[in-house]
Chain A
Amino acid sequence: MTTFQQQLKSRFAVLGAIVLLVLGSLLLRLWSMQVLSGESYALQAKNNRIREISLEAPRGRILDRNGKPLVTNRATLAVSVDPANDIVRSLIVRAQSSNKTDDPTRSELERAFGGLATQLGMTPQEVFAKVSDSRVEALRPRLVAIDVPLETVSILSERQQEFPGVRIDEVAVREYPNGSLAAHVIGYTGEISESQFTASEGAAGYELGDIVGKTGAEAQFENVLQGDKGKRLIEVNARGKPQRVIDEQPAVAGRDIRLTIDIDVQKAAEQALVGALNEAHRQNFPNAKAGAAVVMDVKTGEIVAMASVPTYEPTVFLGGIRPGEWAKLNEKSSEYPLNNRAVMAAYPPASTFKVITGLAGLQYKVTNSGKTYNCKGKWIEMGAQWSKLCWNHAGHGTISFEGGVEKSCDTVFYEIGYEFYKRKNEEIQVVSRAFGLGSDTKIDLPGEVSGRVPDAAWKKSYNANYPEYQMWLPGDTVNMAIGQGDMLVTPLQMTAVYAGIANGGVVMQPHVLKDVLASDGTIAKSFKQTVLTTTGMSSENLAIMTNALVRVTTQGTARGAFSGFDASVAGKTGTAQVKGKDDMAWFCGYAPAGAPKYAVAVVIEQGGGGGAVAAPAGRNILAKLLGLPAVNVRTTDPSR
């Protein structure tokens, strides 16, 4: 070895060490990334390339009791805007930033969505409001319009560059073959709200943007109707372009349900309500705009019809309701058509409540069949300064208990009420509650209110801040006895009361679900009928009441309305006085009186007299139920 080779030996050793250091440090890093953290990187690689796409499950249909469709599905062409589009994304990001000055300007929106808006007959702002909805899943296309005409679709797809992010899909939406029929029972659908989404977190596999039932049966039976979403795992490349399907789990369609509603009776009930409103207008009650009607099978609790006016077209909610339409449905002058007054509104029952007072009187022997009273038109038993008038100011003269029911004589019920006041046992309230008043009927529909059965304890707490109003007075009981005062009931509750009287004192649980169908159309599960409440009224007393109620329709306050009616009807009219408003017209009853099948209740807000406005509507509904011809009776019967 030469000298210079000796000299270089140490330098090559250093160079060799550097080489080893370089390769060693690379190896160490590789060990850490591939061997120690390999799984975490593998997961990142998987998330990079695998996308999960939800496959929508067709929503179950809603059928009437005979299997006729109330709600079905149909395919439609929908225009959506893809938020991943560069132009669209930048506008969304800016709109969602806290910096208000960064909001997209009018002209920017015009540039991005002007073309699309013109095609769809919307404003660019309306389009953008839907596109920038932050509640929808980040990558999900935003639905802008459905039922887009074919020529629009072809324009949108042929000139794509003019419409940034626009895509066209075939989607399934709800179809309502009978229009607005039974809209309140069926309810409407819409995108899941944030609160619904949070409440359902995880359990049902919802995603923001999913269509769910918002009201009525759609909401109540959401779990059954919704079905199970399918899943498709696809592999995408770096540009997000799908390469292949890795796995697919097909969607399972939602179950069809059958309601207890009968389409024909429902139609009759809705027509009867509209007819009653017209009649009220004719009778000079121009404020009559709203009302409700309920029909219940007294033996099963099935709700055969449930109508509420004014109503709405559930189709306006398809594809997302426009803000203007929503405002229209929620302003005071609209009379709130979305409310199902049959269960969501509570009214004073007025004279229809006399059946409870009467049964309480019979049951507690405060009165009896044939007991006579003397009506002078003015009742002064509580003292002259607390005098009360019968609706018939001329007075009914000598009148029996049954006659009091028949003619709706207030004096008779003042007497009974005053007697109960003196007993200090609140028996009227006991019987009211026994019939289910003051509590939810637990019907399988959302939004039910429970009404109110006032008593001494309630009055004290209700007036906690007004000590001078806390005491329960004789007038409170007396007012309640004729269904006035603080008593509040829903039309459904009153239907249940009359159904209970008709059914031997047993109130069946009201319900709208008949059964859930399996995918082959057979019955998978039926509603199990139960008793809501057993009133304990004796059959003798119920017979006395039925007898009195038949007299109402044959010779009493509903005589005019039921003239020429070919079946025996037990019914009662009512005319509720509400301060600052016109009277509310009531009719409740059941038929056939001898072997009752159906109970019905009708209420018309500010409609005037029960006998003149509500009873004719009740007659037409019962006519449909019993297969009798509908007759447009007109009666100017002034009785209450």
Chain B
Amino acid sequence: MRHVEKPRWKSVRDSVNVSLLLWTIGLLVYGSVVVASATSGMTGGPGMFKRHLLGIAIGLVPMIVAWAVDYKVLRHWSGPLMVALSFLLISPRVPGLGAAAKGATSWLQIAGVRLFQPSEPAKLLLIVVMAALIADFEGKIDRPKDVVRIMGYLAVAMVLILWQPDLGTGLVFIAITMTMLLVGGMKGRYFAVLAVVGAVGIGAVLGFHLLQQYQEDRLLVFVDPTRDAQGAGYNLAQAKIAIGSGGVSGQGLGSGTQGNLLFLPERHTDFIFAVLGEELGFTGALLLLGLYLALLVTALAIAASSRDLYGALIVAGVIGMWTFQILENIGMSLGMMPITGIPLPFLSFGSSAMVTNLGGVGLILSVWSRRYGT
């Protein structure tokens, strides 16, 4: 390695990962185009598009801050960060601070003004906290009590997020943790045990009907499309029609009938991919998946270049978050995954998610900038 002797980065240029920024910008531009099309027919459509651009602008702040701050500092702040994480997750439930939407109390609202969804930045906090925790095992997690300890942290986050209840974000938490455990060196048999525990847990939740009926319907409608045919089943069917009717080259930007004629629900947020699929077709979907692949592969390379395990774990956490959200969001529109309200990274309308995803980019850049040195 030719740079291995260099103690630290010397120039700004050296701290910039051009590929990562390029793919990020590509996704933001692509997303803005699709959001513009999805919101064009809505009341206040131009206003919403401006809000989308504003979300990107706001997101640049945490990105640059995370980039500028040496990620290693965060490792010493694990305790306060875990407290902050907990507070973020509890905050919507604090009287006078929360606002309910779609069956969950997941918004922070002060004096009647909706601020953001705390569960979004909470994902990043979880990544940073978990990275510090797992890094302490120095790449080898082999003792049951270590696994239990890590699961304990995850359990706290899970209980709080399910209290909202926001099942989708809960699943993201699990995906983040599992990815980091993989990179953190947890032995295969523990993955197997956790998989069994998870399967039993899902079985128990469904078997004893612990979920609200609408939640159960949304989770299972992808298996049985006739379930909740007027609600979740209808949404899923319309999303599939939209995507399928896009064909190879799509109906043309702004010409998707499923979206414009209101057949598609949540078309600028959770079902944004259906708009893309309908209007830009397989070609457009291929371009999107290509951009995601480039972004994730670049992030993987950065993780591999990290000079410490802590940095590698942070990047792995972000990769896990994005990969799962891509799988879940697109998979849900294609009828492969249960329906949960998870936004598609960089594409979906929504400032909270934009802030989180750009913050994630900032964390990765922070790891990249400090790849040299001790």
Contacts and interface: CB of A to CB of B under 8 A. Distances in A.
Nearest to A27: B289
B139 interface: yes
Contact of B326 (A20, A23, A31, A41): A23
Interface string A592-606: 000000000000000
Interface in A1-35: 1-2, 4-5, 7-9, 11-12, 14-16, 18-20, 22-23, 25-27, 29-31, 33-35
A21 to B, nearest CB: 9
A19 B261 contact: no
A384 interface: no
Interface stretch (A109-117, A237-245, A318-326): A237-245
A49 B261 contact: yes
B1 interface: yes
Contacts of A18: 323
Contact of A29 (B241, B307, B316, B336): B336
A48 interface: yes
A160 B1 CA distance: 81
Contacts of B326: 22-23, 26
Given A34-B248, A38-B247, A237-B262, A12 B183 contact: yes
Nearest to A12: B304
Contacts of B342: none
A89 to B, nearest CB: 13
B314 to A, nearest CB: 13
Contacts of B241: 41, 44-45, 48
Interface string B183-217: 10100000000000000000000000000000000
Interface in B215-251: 238, 240-248
A515 interface: no
A37 interface: yes
A382 interface: no
A148 interface: no
Contacts of A238: 238, 261-263
Given A34-B281, A48-B258, A8 B323 contact: no
B327 interface: yes
B243 A41 contact: yes
A39 interface: yes
B150 interface: no
A33 B336 CA distance: 12
Contacts of B289: 23, 26-27, 30
A9 B245 contact: no
B347 to A, nearest CB: 14
A7 B141 CA distance: 13
Contacts of A34: 243-244, 246-248, 277, 281-282, 285
B277 to A, nearest CB: 7
A578 interface: no
B263 A49 contact: yes
Nearest to A239: B262
Contacts of B261: 48-49, 235-238, 243
Contacts of B312: 8
A551 B240 CA distance: 91
Interface string B305-346: 111110010001001100100110011001010000000000
Contacts of A42: 244-245, 247
A9 B185 CA distance: 11
A106 B316 CA distance: 68
Interface residues of B, number: 53
B286 interface: yes
A19 B300 contact: yes
A19 B247 contact: no
A37 B182 contact: no
B336 A12 contact: no
Interface residues of A, number: 42
A90 interface: no
A58 B330 CA distance: 52
A180 interface: no
B297 interface: yes
Contacts, number: 141
Contacts of A25: 336
A180 to B, nearest CB: 51
B354 interface: no
Nearest to B289: A23
Interface in B276-305: 277-278, 281-282, 285-286, 289, 292-293, 296-297, 300, 303-305
Contacts of B17: none
B336 A45 contact: no
A19 B327 CA distance: 9
Contacts of A5: 304-306
A244 to B, nearest CB: 11
B247 A15 contact: no
A38 B244 contact: yes
Contacts of A39: 247
A597 B250 CA distance: 77
Interface in A371-396: none
A178 interface: no
B257 interface: yes
Given A27-B286, A38-B245, A16 B297 contact: yes
B296 A26 contact: no
A196 interface: no
Contacts of A2: 307
A539 interface: no
A7 B139 contact: yes
A48 B263 CA distance: 8
A9 to B, nearest CB: 7
A238 B267 CA distance: 13
A20 B245 CA distance: 26
A334 interface: no
Given A8-B304, A38-B244, A238-B262, A45 B285 contact: no
Contacts of A526: none
Contacts of A398: none
Pick from B4, B244, B282 the residue with the most CB of A within 10 Å: B244
Contacts of A16: 297, 300
B248 A35 contact: yes
A44 B292 CA distance: 30
B248 A19 contact: no
9 contacts: A15-B316, A23-B326, A27-B286, A31-B282, A34-B277, A34-B282, A41-B243, A48-B257, A238-B262
Interface of A: 1-2, 4-5, 7-9, 11-12, 14-16, 18-20, 22-23, 25-27, 29-31, 33-35, 37-42, 44-45, 48-49, 235-239, 243
Of all A-B residue pairs in the complex, the 5 with the closest CB atoms, nearest first, are: A41-B244, A38-B247, A45-B245, A238-B262, A237-B261
Given A8-B139, A33-B244, A42-B245, 11 more contacts: A4-B138, A5-B304, A7-B139, A7-B185, A12-B316, A22-B327, A23-B326, A29-B334, A33-B243, A33-B334, A41-B243
